[in-house]
Structure 1
Amino acid sequence: MLPHVISLLVVIIATVMTFYFIPDLRKDEVVIFTGITGYATIYGVIFAILEVMNAKNTAQVAKEESEKVYKKMDDLYGLRDITQCLASIEMAIESINKNEIISSSVLLTISKIYSSVFHEEMNDDSSDHRKNRALLQSCSHHSSSVKSSRAKNKLREVLLDMSSHLSCVIGTKTSKDNMGV
């Protein structure tokens, strides 16, 4: 509002000074009216420019805020997926402990979510994440391979490792939220 008042005062002062210093602009009503409407038009243009600048700033702030909200929502959906994966890991470990067959849908859910969370690490052939997923996938394709106690222990170890990785991601995401990032 202040820029509008300042611009109005500048236009009024310019109008008064123009009519004061140029006497020909005061000779008849038509010239006076034309001069005043000219300055009113100038003020209208200045007003419009100020409003466009204000709208641009407002739009930029709205865009930044909507990006923050999108990031928060994306993080929430990611946390939901990670929580679902952790629950599936717990079910798989419980099945191992009870000497039951692990449902292939549970193993596929773990593999899918774990791969999406650590998608960058999956491109590295030497990463633990990729090795964990490979072992998990081999178990989901060959459920008979999990019958030996050695295979069960290895799968349990892999599942616990995956759980640890996912818990670290949750810790990182929630600590960012608590810090207001």
Structure 2
Amino acid sequence: MSMPQSVRNWFSSKFACHIYSFLVILVIAIACYFYDKDLFGSLPKTVGSVSAFLTVYGVIFALIELVRTRTAAELAEQRVTEVVQVVEDLITAREITECQIAVESALDGISRNEDISARYVVKIIRLYSQVFPDAMLDEQSPHRSNRSILETYRYVKRVSDKSKGPVQTQKALMSISGHLAEMQGHTKRGKENAQ
């Protein structure tokens, strides 16, 4: 009569190392008995020898469990890292979407020759800076240039003529929209490649 496959898998995966180590210790104990019968000559010597072999087996058992625990901890850490990455991607996707909505609203206002609400300007600057933090550190990046144009929007609107400010702002907003779409594409492509 053979064991079912599920029982064999469970038995071999969980206890194989322990059984193999016990069998090795048992073989060593039997070999010691045949090699030096004095180890098992009297009751105190037999109890001492058996307890010594059991102690060695206990140490081996503990080492096996230590390795298993470490492996489980590493696997758990890997899964947590994957979950954190997914959450960060979701947050980035939300920020991109919110920023795109604000950019579209601002472009809509420019096309109707209306002022862009300060609330939208601030929201675009904040979200755009959060989505591209590294690019904002580079003084030569187009991301930083676009942010600078938006930061000076109210000032340019008051000082210069009406035609130059909106055109420059509109170009910056179109560029921002393109950057956001590109980032969203990279995020989506990264998820598809991971699957």
Q: Tell me, in whole angstroms, the C-alpha distance in 2 between the residues paired with 1:59 and 1:143.
A: 58
5+ residue gaps, structure 2: 1-14
Structure 1 residue ranges (4+ consecutive) displaced by more than 6 angstroms after TM superposition: none
Q: Which amino acid aligns with 1:8?
A: F
Equivalent residue in structure 2 for 1:40, among 38, 44, 54: 54
Task: Report the more deviating stretch, 52-61 or 28-37.
Answer: 28-37
Contact 1:145 1:151 in 2 (8 A): no
TM-score, reference length from structure 2: 0.86
Equivalent residue letter for 2:185 = G
Written as runs of structure 1 = structure 2, the 5 A alignment for 1:147-158 is 148-158=162-172
Length, aligned pairs only: 181
CA distance in 2, matches of 1:5, 1:77: 49
Q: Alpha-carbon deviation of 1:117? A: 1.9
In structure 2, C-alpha distance between the alignment counterparts of 1:77 and 1:64, rounded to whole Å: 20
Residue aligning to 2:149 = 135
**In structure 2, what is the Cα distance between the partners aligned to 1:177 and 1:44?**
46
Which residue of structure 2 aligns with residue 17 of structure 1? 31
* Structure 1 counterpart of 2:94, one-letter code: R
Structure 2 CA distance for aligned equivalents of residues 172 and 130 of structure 1: 20
Q: What percent identity do the matched residue pairs reach?
A: 27
TM-score, normalization by structure 1: 0.93
Give 1:82 shift: 1.0
| 8 Å CA contact 1:139, 1:145 repeated in 2 | no
